[in-house]
Structure 1
Amino acid sequence: MTIVTIKDVAKAAGVSQATVSKVLTGNSPEYRVSRDTVERVRKAADELGYVPNVSAQNLRSKRSGLIGVVLNEFDSSGRSMHLKLNSQLDSIQTIHLTFDGSLLSGLTEAARIHNTAFVVYPESTHPSEDIGSRFLDGRVEGLILRTNPTTQHPLLTRLDPRRIKMMALWTQDVPPGVGYADIDHKSGAAQATEHLLSLGHQKIAFFGPGEHSGNAHFSLRHQGYRAALQKAGLTPDPELHTEDPQKVIGLFRAGKLTAVVGATDLQTIMLHGDLVQAGIRVPEDLSLVGFDNILGAEFIAGGLTTVHHPTQEMAAAAMNGLMALIRGETVSKCRTIVPTHMVIRNTTRKLG
């Protein structure tokens, strides 16, 4: 098989090899290569089947061309809520794998667009291992660190962002010099609450951990719920915030409740099971909204109305932000909060 070189592309496009190099490495704007020339070079490269020698490019630029991705242990604290299901552990593991799969899918697509690659590192839990040393020898150009909502990733404080660029994934709690990509937990919960308000509900509970749970995601979601009520002129009632399904049932029977926003889909599923056992119909008697849009949510309670967690988009934003940091972009422009959206199914209805 004949290998197509830059020289071949230059000859076909009628330009110099230097111009071809500038176009194919993405440096044409910097060197003010005209749009017509860029299109001519790319067309010639496509027609000839030119494939860049990434190893040679990285050797010349003294870059590894690799991104390191560290996926920490998935934190399910507060998510299972002691689910009364025989398959509780299986459910948590399934969500773990689905979440990580979506992350990797988003990272892969973004890496392809940037013509780069990433390697996933297992997180060491051995106390004697210097978990930061492996990333400072030039084998990776930057790091994407998936955190959990209760603790800050140790590498964020052990590594100097002046020595290696870092993006934190699924958090907004980062040291100076570090970028992040997270979803808009607060706005998502506000959207869920506003959806219920639009259906005429005013007696709306928040089911799950809240602002003082130690979990940043739950804190933001509870804040969003409260903000939406206040925006509608309603005063949030502390009695309507609970983690106890039996209290929800009691509030409903006392006429103090017509709808519930769950902190997660899992918690909402658990609540739905208790409501069914108590003879309370969803949505005829009580409307429910979850958060996360987990795998299978469309089959839960006839179709769970929920807030979609844009995991793939969040992962892509992390990769885009890290590549921008590597190019020299300021960290303030590499901190992204990805918007959520409602998925309206069958667990909510208009009041009355």
Structure 2
Amino acid sequence: MKNGMRKKATIYDLSVLSGNSPSTVSAVLNGTWRKRRIKETTAALIRDLAEKYQYTANRQAQGLRSSRSGLVGLLLPVHDNRYFSSMAQTFEAHVRSKGQCPIVVSASRDPQEERDTAATLISYSIDELFICGATDPDGVHEVCEKAGLKHINIDLPGSKVASVISDNYEGGRMLTEAIIRQFPADKPLAPEELYLFGGRNDHASHERIRGFRAVKRELLAGDPDICIQTTGYSPNNTRIAFEAFYKQEGRLPRALFVNSSINFEGFLRFMAGHPHETFADMVVGCYDYDPFASFLPFPVIMIRQDIESMLAKAFEVMEEPRSAPTVHMIRPELIKPRTALAGPLDALKDID
């Protein structure tokens, strides 16, 4: 088969080109090759040939043969957020590597919309659903369970099915300690000078706040309740909270723990209305990573949640027999100020 031919390759073409049986090629393309103990080098060769010769699976024919559509869903709360967009990008790459087709949708943190969207995806005969950051994961579970659809929670846990989440308590501890130790010994931070802004009454916020308070008590010997300002995840609500604090105190705290990059956007909106001097000599920690924020004129320490490991574990658990709902926690990474990391967008290919 010549590379310049318009006709796309079939499994049998790839079998001839790779020197492997059609069943081996099929196992690589549908993601079951590890179960058959096919070598990694063989799988890589077949995937490279499939891309080179523009192999496209016939989803309709596959569905008729296997009662599977090859469609795998990811339900997000929002798209406009680096953490969730990276989640989507990494998810899509993983699904495509298994020869399947990803479908990514959002439900805007609306519990009813989450259930309705899950029902719509089920009507399109998706094979699996990854439920990320759902406001009501158990409500989505009920919809999936009724339809007999395999599903798993990511980012926020549910009580009915397995979940893979960040270790938010440990991440909260790591970030709080890094903020405190950023201050010199001759100008130490006092307990009332370190505030947490953002988050709401969800598992992730609760665990981050628990870690924040534990480290403040250990290192600063104090933890005033007033230092916790839960604003929800709205950037505008966060901005309003900063404006109210500034109006009352005439200044900002010396140190801030901002509960997510969405809340950090609210902080940036507050910054836009105030002079540079307002932010001199302060230290900020953000529980999420964004390379642009990392290069602000004051130190910004960040927590990067390990999306790659979270998804790898979720796909692994999805293949296991159904068991009691277990929460699998993945340790996040502390990122120093002025750091630009590689991400899923680096995998994009330039096309001439």
Q: Report the TM range for the smaller structure's normalisation.
A: 0.5 to 0.7
Equivalent residue number for residue 163 of structure 2: 180
Q: Once the 2 structures are TM-superposed, how far is the Cα of residue 184 of structure 1 from its aligned partner?
A: 3.7
SS in structure 2 of the partner of residue 64 of structure 1: coil
**Unmatched tracts of structure 1, length 5 or more:** 75-94, 347-352
Q: 1:39: Cα distance to partner?
A: 6.9
Query: Which residue identity lines up with residue 280 of structure 2 in the other structure?
Result: V
Cα separation, 2, equivalents of 1:161 and 1:51? 35
- 1:339 to 2:323 alignment: no
| Equivalent residue in structure 1 for 2:141, among 146, 156, 163 | 156
For 2:333 and 2:40, the matched residues in 1 are separated by 39
Distance 1:207 1:12, change over 3 A: closer
Please tell me whether residue 221 in structure 1 is matched to residue 208 in structure 2: yes
The 1-side partners of 2:247 and 2:88 are apart by 40
Match of 1:119 among 74, 79, 103: 103
Query: Contact 1:169 / 1:315 at 8 angstroms: preserved in 2?
Result: no
- Alpha-carbon distance in structure 2 between the residues aligned to 1:19 and 1:3: 19
Matched to 1:61, the amino acid is S
2:177 pairs with 1:194? yes
Q: 2: CA distance between counterparts of 1:258 and 1:314?
A: 31
Give unpaired runs (5+ residues) of structure 2. Answer: 230-240, 340-352
| 2:71 matched residue in structure 1 | 66
Cα 1:297–1:9 change in 2 (3 A) is closer
Between the two proteins, the alignment pairs up a number of residues equal to: 311
Q: Match of 1:337, as an amino acid?
A: I
Is the Cα–Cα contact under 8 Å of residues 67 and 119 in structure 1 kept in the other structure?
yes
C-alpha displacement at 1:224, in angstroms?
A: 1.6
1:134 aligns with 2:100: no
Structure 1 window deviating more from structure 2 (112-121 vs 42-51): it is: 42-51
Q: State which of 307, 319, 332 in structure 2 corresponds to 1:314.
A: 307
Amino acid at match of 1:62: S
The higher radius of gyration belongs to 1
C-alpha distance in 1, partners of 2:40/2:122? 41
Rounded Cα–Cα distance in structure 1 between residues aligned with 2:81 and 2:48: 42
For 2:111 and 2:247, the matched residues in 1 are separated by 45
- Which residues of 2 match residues 72-87 of structure 1 at below 5 A? 72=77, 74=78
Provide, for residues 277-307 of structure 1, a one-character-per-residue CA deviation record: whole Å limited to 9, x for no partner. 8x65521xx433333344742464x255032
Aligned equivalent of 1:260, options 256, 263, 279: 256
CA distance in 1, matches of 2:51, 2:271: 58
% identical aligned pairs: 16
Distance 1:15 1:276, change over 3 A: closer
Given the two structures, how large is their TM-score scaled by the length of structure 2? 0.65
Aligned-pair distance for 1:338? Answer: 5.3
1:53 corresponding residue in structure 2: 57
User: How far apart in 2 are the matches of 1:224 and 1:145?
Assistant: 25
Q: 1:287 aligns with which of 283, 290, 293?
A: 283
Q: Relative CO higher for 1 or 2, CA cutoff 8 Å, sep ≥ 6?
A: 1
TM-score with structure 1 setting the length: 0.65
CA 1:30–1:282 in structure 2 vs 1: closer, same or farther (change >3 Å)? same
Report the Cα distance in structure 1 between the residues aligned to 2:271 and 2:33, rounded to whole angstroms: 57
1:160 aligned counterpart, secondary structure: helix
Distance of aligned partners of 1:187 and 1:307 in 2 relative to their CA distance in 1, 3 Å threshold: farther
- The structure-2 alpha-carbon separation of the partners of 1:141 and 1:336, relative to structure 1 and needing over 3 Å to count, comes to farther
Distance in 1 between residues matched to 2:51 and 2:71, nearest whole Å: 28
Aligned partners of 1:71 and 1:231: how far apart in 2?
Answer: 36
Q: Verify the 8 A CA contact 1:144 1:319 in the aligned structure 2.
A: no
Contact 1:165/1:326 (8 A) holds in 2? no
Question: Could you say if the C-alpha distance between residues 182 and 271 of structure 1 is closer, same or farther in structure 2, counting changes exceeding 3 Å?
Answer: farther
Query: Which deviates the most, 54-63 or 10-19?
Result: 10-19
Query: The residue matched to 1:235 in structure 2 has which SS?
Result: coil
SS at match of 2:145: coil
Distance 2:174 2:333 in 1: 9
Q: Aligned equivalents of 1:116 and 1:239: distance in 2?
A: 50
Q: Following the alignment from structure 1 to structure 2, what is the Cα–Cα distance between the partners of residues 299 and 36?
A: 40
Shift of 1:164: 0.9
**Equivalent residue number for residue 110 of structure 1:** 94
